[in-house]
């Protein structure tokens, strides 16, 4: 069956293209000591530094994790455009306090520092996450996690006690927990694709961190709405 876009759907796609172009042509960022006290290259981690990227966190070959003692997040960046993210968190449930969901995830790929001060991270397609929810029909499962993530802005400051501190702001402006530089050399798994994944296009469920059920997703402000609208018109 041959599909074609309606005029309205084409207009939506055109509007999205204009939005993406605008994101890369805004005021040029100045990479100086005021904006960033040091380069973003290296490994960064929150809190107690219990969650750190690299071989001690995830094993993509069998989709397993080494669970840290406490929750946290860690980002690593190379000087040639590669990144890796390790996340471990608990999500509370106000209506059912006993139904606390645990999520642990790993993803890596290429990052791009845009001229307007934002960062786009595009995954390799082999990321995954494990979700444990005691109140769900399936209480423990592993799924693919491969979302292209847009960070609106970032800053690196010098903390008088802990040294360099990285602040990332998600596409909607909400902050990621501050991370401290634990190594100037990135602690990462190999940058090549580390497991085979069937690639499909899916939309984000919400904001900066949603679920992805396939190879990759497009994630930018309003993109999920756009994709859903266009799909409904096909």
The answer on pLDDT for 208 being more than 90 is: no
Residue 117 belongs to some domain of the structure: yes
Residue 198's region, left for phi above 0, alpha for psi from -120 to 50, else beta, is beta
Higher pLDDT pick, 234 / 199:
199
Structural domain includes residue 183? yes
Helix crossing, 223-233 with 7-25: angle to 10°?
Answer: 160
DSSP state of 28: P
pLDDT digits (tens, 9 = 90+) for 148-178: 999 999 999 999 999 999 999 999 999 999 9
Binning the chain into helix, strand and coil, the percentages to the nearest 5 are 15, 35, 50
In whole angstroms, how far apart are CA 110 and each of 49, 78, 83, 227?
Answer: 23, 9, 6, 23
- pTM score of the predicted model: 0.73
| pLDDT per residue as tens digits for the range 54-113 | 999 999 999 999 999 999 999 999 999 999 999 999 987 778 888 888 999 999 999 999
User: Which range marks the domain in which residue 148 is found?
Assistant: 7-233
2 in any annotated domain: no
1 within some domain: no
DSSP string, 130-196: EEE-TTSSS-EEEEE--B-EEEEEEEEEEETTTEEEEEEEETTSPBPPPEEEEESS-----SS--S-
Cβ neighbours around 126 below 10 Å, total: 23
Share of the chain above pLDDT 90, in %: 56
Count of structural domains, the chain: 1
Residue 54, domain member (yes or no): yes
How many C-alpha atoms does 143 have within 13 Å on its Cβ side? Answer: 16
């Amino acid at each position: 069956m041959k599909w074609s876009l309606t005029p309205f759907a084409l207009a939506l796609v055109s509007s999205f293209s204009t939005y993406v172009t605008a994101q890369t042509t805004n005021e040029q960022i100045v990479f100086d000591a005021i904006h960033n006290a040091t380069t973003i290259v290296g490994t960064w981690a929150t809190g107690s530094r219990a969650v750190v990227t690299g071989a001690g966190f995830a094993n993509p070959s069998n989709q397993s994790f080494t669970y840290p003692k406490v929750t946290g997040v860690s980002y690593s960046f190379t000087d040639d455009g590669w990144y890796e993210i390790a996340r471990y968190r608990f999500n509370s449930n106000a209506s059912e306090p006993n139904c606390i969901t645990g999520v642990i995830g790993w993803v890596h790929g290429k990052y791009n520092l845009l001229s307007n001060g934002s960062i786009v991270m595009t995954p390799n397609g082999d990321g995954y996450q494990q979700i444990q929810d005691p109140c769900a029909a399936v209480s423990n499962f592993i799924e693919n996690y491969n979302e292209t993530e847009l960070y609106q802005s970032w800053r690196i400051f010098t903390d008088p006690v802990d040294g360099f501190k990285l602040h990332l702001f998600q596409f909607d402006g909400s902050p990621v927990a501050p991370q401290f530089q634990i190594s100037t050399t990135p602690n990462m798994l190999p940058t090549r694709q580390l497991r085979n994944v069937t690639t499909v296009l899916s939309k984000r469920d919400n904001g900066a961190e949603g679920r992805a059920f396939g190879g990759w997703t497009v994630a930018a402000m309003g993109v999920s709405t756009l994709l859903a609208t266009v799909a409904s018109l096909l």
